[in-house]
A and B are shown apart, each in its own frame.
Chain A
Amino acid sequence: MSSRLNIELPGLTLKNPIMPASGCFGFGREYSQFYDLSKLGAIMIKATTVEPRFGNPTPRVAETSSGMLNAIGLQNPGLEKVVSHELPWLSQYDVPIIANVAGSLEEDYIEVASQISKASNVHALELNISCPNVKTGGIAFGTIPEVAKQLTRKVKEVSEVPVYVKLSPNVTNIVEMAKAVEDGGADGLTMINTLVGMRLDLKTGKPILANRTGGLSGPAIKPVALRMIYEVSQAVGIPIIGMGGIESAEDVIEFFYAGASAVAVGTANFVDPFVCPTIIEELPILLDQLGYEHITECRGRSWQEHGQLTYHRA
């Protein structure tokens, strides 16, 4: 069955296209009490910075209809601990790791990328130029095409594994950003990060989040993610790992139709810790219902010329 789901991407040989998204799965330890992490296509580990970070004050989450806002602030134990403790622990599982690389300055990204890409189970990097919850640096890297391109180029020079760049939806023209990082040498894209949003407390009139604003995730952002992947996948020649509100096998197929080559599941892990293995089990059944042999047949159907794809009957 799994042969219907396997995917080859730069640096990544995936059993299936399902992976937990960065920031929604820690370093895997918590979810390893629920199921065997080797079932996953890959794992995108929590963003790593050079130094340990405590992150933002609480409250760090606020709910909204069909979504949630978070402002964690890249809390993580720092490069040294991730390399010495978290990655070796994860190596007991037969699953490629995509390491999310974050920072405030160009040097930070370069330092993390060069070190973390040496780990034997890190098969790709996810360059986090789009976290909306850190005050310095990050946002310029994610919103100015030329800056993003230069950073991508520098990280590519030091990384020992392919580099995927995580794009922010908080831009006027995401296609321009995507093309810029492709020019910078990106091997792939991951998209979308969260949308900046806000909730206010009814009694106090003040923001619920201590950080005031946070990143919106969950089913609420799925249509935005689909639209952006639809646009970007037609404009670039590098693969996209799609994310944004995925919680079912149906959602995965929709993201493939839009142009994604694999997907990440984020917020849904919080609602159902078993969501990733459940989707992996349900995908072949859905492929049968839709009349596809292999999941890659779904890719880009939304924009492929009619007749370019094999015709299928359910």
Chain B
Amino acid sequence: MIKKELCKIISQEEIAKDIFQLTVEAEFVKEIKAPGQFVHIRVDKSFDPLLRRPISISSVDSKNSRFTMIYRKEGKGTSLLAEKGPGILLDILGPLGNGFPVDEVHEGETALLVGGGIGVPPLYELSKQLIAKGIKVVHVLGFQTESAVFYEKEFLENGETYITTVDGSYGSKGFVTDIIKDLEFDSLYTCGPTPMLKAIEKGYGHKKVFLSLEERMGCGVGACFACVCNSSSDINDVSYKKVCSDGPVFRAGEVLI
């Protein structure tokens, strides 16, 4: 059930350059079903920016009815959001979308979690839930540069963690795909930039792979048809999926990316 709620900010801090961690209290926490779901935030009462901002849920604290998001301060909306401190009420619509299926892997198996940049956050709650199920979790996290790296320690607590940076200033130089090719796994969960998702689907699409897509959204609930993607390669086939309400997580091959 999707709710619109005024959620109190519990804390907000910058955990890497322009990367903010925001924790809020919300009754709808009990409605969150799977890691990888997201919320739609109205950052300001004014009309500038007009639309809500889709932000993924990075961890859930059901006991205290709180959840945490990690986002990059980039445009007008996220800059306004980054200024908000504890106690402020945020207009949030959520939880939205369908997350990563945790039931697709079984005890004793290995799950590979691959994140790129601001695609890393939803993998953290996923990692926690997989660990709780007795699944071995391996993380490969790619960032642009050292100052953009976050949550290495947190992921390390759950399992083996590899960090890559494009410029080589931290971890291994290069892309996540350079690391994945040497790893063994039963299933792969990923979220990040489209070129990364494409490379993963191309290389490992025959395995059990789940990808979380990103697309510009309007309503966030499936009504506006802004974030639609093709679900067939046949040009005459008009079948489609909506990233916001059918996704954002899809099985490899389910949609064209």
Q: Which residues of A contact B (CB under 8 A)?
A: 23-26, 29-31, 33-34, 46, 52-55, 58-63, 65-68, 70, 72, 75, 218-220, 247, 267, 269-274
In the complex, the answer to whether B240 meets A68 with C-beta atoms within 8 Å is no
Of the residues A60, A62, A67, contact of B228 by C-beta under 8 Å: A60
A58 pairs with B47, CB closer than 8 A: no
When distances are taken between beta carbons in the complex, the residues of chain B under 8 Å from A29 are 222
Interface residues of B (CB under 8 A from A): 1-2, 4, 42, 47-52, 93, 215-230, 238, 240, 245
* Interface core residue of B216, B220, B225, B227 (most chain A CB under 10 Å): B225
Indicate if the CB atoms of B226 and A58 lie closer than 8 Å: yes
A30 touches B245 (CB 8 A): yes
* Minimal Cβ-Cβ distance residue in A for B240: A54
Q: List 19 A-B contacts (CB under 8 A).
A: A23-B224, A24-B224, A26-B222, A26-B224, A30-B222, A30-B245, A52-B238, A58-B227, A58-B229, A60-B226, A60-B227, A60-B228, A68-B50, A72-B224, A72-B225, A72-B226, A75-B228, A269-B223, A273-B4
Residues in B whose Cβ lies below 8 Å from that of A272: 4, 42
Q: Is B51's CB under 8 angstroms from A63's CB?
A: yes
CA distance in complex: A274, B221 (Å)? 13
- A160 nearest CB across to chain B (Å): 28
A269 to B220, CA, bound (A): 11
How far is the CB of B253 from the nearest CB of chain A, in Å?
Answer: 19
Q: When chains A and B are docked, how far (Å) is the Cα of A269 from the Cα of B218?
A: 10
Are the C-beta atoms of A66 and B48 separated by less than 8 Å? Answer: yes
In the bound complex, CA of A31 to CA of B221 (Å): 8
Give CA–CA (A275, B229) in the complex, Å.
28
State A120–B217 Cα separation when bound (angstroms).
34
Contact of A271 with B52 at beta-carbon distance under 8 Å, contacts A30-B223, A62-B216 already known: yes
Q: A67 to B47, alpha carbons, bound, how many Å?
A: 7
- In contact, B224 and A270 (Cβ under 8 angstroms): yes
Closest-by-CB residue of A relative to B220 is: A270
The closest CB in chain B to the CB of A217 belongs to B50
Pairwise interchain contact A70-B50, C-beta atoms closer than 8 A: no
